[in-house]
Amino acid sequence: MGKKKRFTTFLGSVFDNQVPLLVKIVGVLTVLSLIVPILTSPHVYFESFYFKGLVFQLLTELMFAGWILLLVTKPNYRPQWRHPVVLGLLLITLAMLIALPFALDPTYSFWSRPGRMAGVVNYLHYFAWLLVVVSTFRSVRSFRPLVAVSCVTAVAAGLVGIVTWISQPDELVLSTLNNSSFFGSYMMTHVFLAAWLWTGNRATWSRVVAISTVIIGSCSVILSGSRGAVLVLGISALVVGFIFFIMSTISRTRKVIIVVILSSLAMVLIGSIIVLRLPSMQEWGEDHLPLSVERIVYRQFGQDRWVLWKLALQGIAERPVFGWGAEQYELMHYKYFDPTSIDKAVLNERFADRAHNQYLDVLIASGAVGLLAYLFFLGAIGWAILIAWRRTVQVDKRKSIILAGTILLGYVVYSFFMFDTPAVLIATFLGFALIGAYYTETTGSTVTADISGSLKLNQIVVPVGLLFVLVVWLVNAGPAYKLYQLKDAYREVSINRSLALEKYQRAFSGYNPYLQEFRLLGLRSLQTWAENVSLHSSQMEALLRFMSTELIAAAEERSYNIRFQLAAAAVHRLLSAYEPEMLVVADAYTQQALIDGHNRFDPYFELGEIAMMRSEADEALKYFRLAEERMPILNREQHAYAYFRQACAQAMKCDAVAARRSFETALHFDEAEILTYETYKDTRLAIAIGNSCGIDPNFNWYIPELDKLLVVFPDHPTLLTAAARIYKAGGMYDRTAEMLKRLHERHPEEADQLAEELGFFRQVE
């Protein structure tokens, strides 16, 4: 058979002329859903989760609607209730729904939040996708084009990551998933899929895709620095190699040679790691090895995981049967987190909302009920592999079943170190559907559910269409439109704050299951300008008053969550710049948050900020230090912010030496990691120096940083005032005059008063 004919036959395994139109539509939608992980957009919030999850859910809803119509006319596409994969899906879905009413906040657990997309409704989409695929594509042959498409997508993501690494070798590879661990686990899964694709098909292009995916996928896993993914690849290769070795018919001599070669390679690898970890070699390794390899070799494996797991087990013991509900790990974590223990020395998450162990995450979300169903689901996939293997006689086909089984093995092992993410679930569920096809083929199972009776297609097209439109609007289109409105309002804050208020009002009105999270995002956008930049105006006051009303409602609706109490405190603190009495309200919300979150650092941060508003520098320093004591040591971003705010409090006391020490420490953290607090975009230290200390030459060390600030904010009136004083103290009279001139263009009276204060009596024009 020629290459062109083989290629045509390969594609035709799904889309041939004998296949019903609805199946072709489902097939096209399945292919499109496999491309989702590589999609990216800088124009939306949370592109790693929300954007990909939104597109995937829309495609899944279309697939499900088409499949429902297909069930009526084609009984052989109806679900096989005795199929292990279908039974597992039914049980895990039932368990999730049973546990949901017992959640701490059932609404939040159902919808999750845009930044995670891991609520019950999101998992229902993944389950629906798997049900449709395993019911529609029942031959192993039909999965080859699907796996090939998924592998090509992974190769594209891998190439993006490798090209990025070439230009930035000192960074971990994120690719289109914007997270090195997510990227590593996604590529790891495709190494397994590609290994299966290699078997049973001699088409050249198919093998090119397979070998390209294995090579690029393996390199990507290493470059991602994901130790769990590297470990799982090694374990899977060892298990599969051992099984293939036993099944092999080669001579005993060759087997011995292979064992010696592989053992030698393993010893060289392990020996290299041992040598690199020697104290005499560690400094060299940290200086010369790529960051990803350095992370794999030197970072203590599992220390942070043990802490997270220990805290998770304490929370599970409190609510063992139905759990806390999805997305509730954060509350449970800080309930048991001890800031005086070694815990904070190994944790490195900026915020803890996952146990980084899928089994524990399931226990937290839905208790023993959910975990038993989850284990049954995985066991059902394993049972399907076992039955298919036992009923297969051909050695080559048995080997392909074993390779398909590595997808389950990889997921089961990796789930001990990581949680589910959209991209990985799509690839993994494709593998599970493939395993389901092996079971269907080898058992010859054709028992389907009679769920349509005597219904005709034209009788259900309209109801299914209307239901589809309703689900799309409620689950995807409606929230997506609100998120677009929110981002549009955020952009307007820096341009036209009056218009921003109107846009925020529209974004917060009407149906929105993520309203509470949107309120937090809205405050964050205002904090950038009202707090970090310290811009004050009547328009900003109106925005803050509107946001205070929204956050009061949010704090009441989610009174159990201190994030909303602290958000209400923050917005009232910002309002105190216009109405000082609001500090009392801010303090009340913070004290309430402190009752439930005394082990967290953020309530102490807020108390420090309130003290700063009251010009109580010593009190602010005390709280900023208390906050810092409760931070995980490896949380560099928050440490940078803590030292920066300590520098501001020390500048308020005109303690130039201490302020410089704190500021330089903040810069050290800022330079050490890409995701750190950007001190050069915060005007508060400059304003504290200029307004509190007047003309003090002891702060001349800050002038280079002030120059950077003025590039970002050249027309900020309060900053210009502070800058004029700082430059005057440093003897930079031309720069002082320039600041006065800029200020005079916008606020002539203030400029004249400042010029007189500084001794610049000539007219500033």
Q: Tell me: the pLDDT tens digits for 36-87?
A: 999 887 666 776 788 899 999 999 999 999 999 888 878 788 888 889 999 9
Of how many residues is the chain composed? 765
User: Average pLDDT in the 480-502 region?
Assistant: 87
- What's the pLDDT score for residue 538? 87
- What's the pLDDT score for residue 301? 61
Q: How far apart are CA 324 and CA 102, in angstroms?
A: 8
**Nearest one of 372, 355, 484, 366 to 420, comparing CA atoms:** 355
Q: How far apart are CA 623 and CA 591, in angstroms?
A: 13
- Residue with token string 């700063």: 612
- What's CA 386's distance to the chain center, in Å? 35
Q: How far apart are CA 607 and CA 558, in angstroms?
A: 21
- What's the pLDDT score for residue 158? 94
Does position 449 have pLDDT exceeding 90, yes or no?
Answer: no
Q: Longest C-alpha distance within the chain, in Å? A: 99
User: Average pLDDT in the 480-485 region?
Assistant: 89
pLDDT-based confidence at residue 10 (cuts at 50, 70, 90): very low
CB 623 within 8 A of CB 648: no
Rounded to 10 degrees, the C-alpha dihedral 245/251/256/259 comes to -30
| Residue 475, Cβ density class (10 Å: 0-12 exposed, 13-18 middle, ≥19 buried) | buried
DSSP 105-162: SHHHHHH--TTT--SHHHHHHHHHHHHHHHHH--SGGGHHHHHHHHHHHHHHHHHHHH
CB 43 within 8 A of CB 156: no
Weakest-pLDDT range from 265-279, 350-364, 545-559, 624-638: 265-279
Q: How far apart are CA 576 and CA 581, in angstroms?
A: 6
Positive/negative CA dihedral, 587, 589, 592, 598: negative
Q: How far apart are CA 655 and CA 689, in angstroms?
A: 10
Token pair listed for 504: 């925020």
Q: How far apart are CA 447 and CA 130, in angstroms?
A: 18
CB 434 within 8 A of CB 196: yes
Alpha helices in 528-561 (DSSP H): 538-557
User: Average pLDDT in the 284-291 region?
Assistant: 76
- Give Cβ neighbours of residue 389 (< 8 Å, ≥ 6 apart): 398, 401, 402, 405
| Residue 275, Cβ density class (10 Å: 0-12 exposed, 13-18 middle, ≥19 buried) | exposed
- What's CA 576's distance to the chain center, in Å? 34
SS3 content of the chain, % helix, strand, coil (to 5): 75, 0, 25
Residue 19 CB neighbour total at 10 angstroms:
16
pTM for this model (two decimals)? 0.87
User: Average pLDDT in the 533-552 region?
Assistant: 88
- Gyration radius from the chain CA atoms: 30
**Nearest one of 240, 182, 227, 236 to 410, comparing CA atoms:** 236
119-151 burial, b for 16+ CB within 10 Å, e for fewer?
bbbbbbbbbbbbbbbbbbbbebbbbbbbbbbbb
Token pair listed for 411: 């997921």
- Residue with token string 């023993």: 368
- What's the pLDDT score for residue 188? 94
Does position 225 have pLDDT exceeding 90, yes or no?
Answer: no
For the segment 576-623, what is each residue's pLDDT rounded down to a tens digit? Answer: 989 999 999 999 999 999 988 888 888 999 999 999 999 999 999 999
CB 324 within 8 A of CB 365: yes
| Residue 447, Cβ density class (10 Å: 0-12 exposed, 13-18 middle, ≥19 buried) | exposed
- Give Cβ neighbours of residue 462 (< 8 Å, ≥ 6 apart): none
- pLDDT above 90 covers what percent of the chain? 44
HSE (CB half, 13 Å, CA atoms) of 682?
Answer: 22
Weakest-pLDDT range from 453-462, 687-696, 711-720: 453-462
Specify the DSSP class assigned to residue 674.
S
- Give Cβ neighbours of residue 386 (< 8 Å, ≥ 6 apart): none
Q: Give, in degrees to the nearest 5, the angle at Cα 146 between 197 and 133.
A: 120
Does position 126 have pLDDT exceeding 80, yes or no?
Answer: yes
Q: How far apart are CA 72 and CA 457, in angstroms?
A: 6
Of 386 and 640, the structure prediction assigns the larger pLDDT to 386
Residue 417 CB neighbour total at 10 angstroms:
20
- What's the pLDDT score for residue 680? 67
CB 200 within 8 A of CB 141: no
Of 17 and 730, the structure prediction assigns the larger pLDDT to 730
Token pair listed for 346: 């190994």
CB 223 within 8 A of CB 188: no
Residue 21 CB neighbour total at 10 angstroms:
9
- What's the pLDDT score for residue 622? 95
What are the φ/ψ torsions at residue 81 (nearest 5 degrees)?
-65, -25
- What's the pLDDT score for residue 396? 85
In the chain, the N- to C-terminal Cα span, in Å, equals 85
- What's the pLDDT score for residue 12? 45
* Amino acid occupying residue 266: A
- Give Cβ neighbours of residue 60 (< 8 Å, ≥ 6 apart): 33, 125, 126, 128, 129, 132
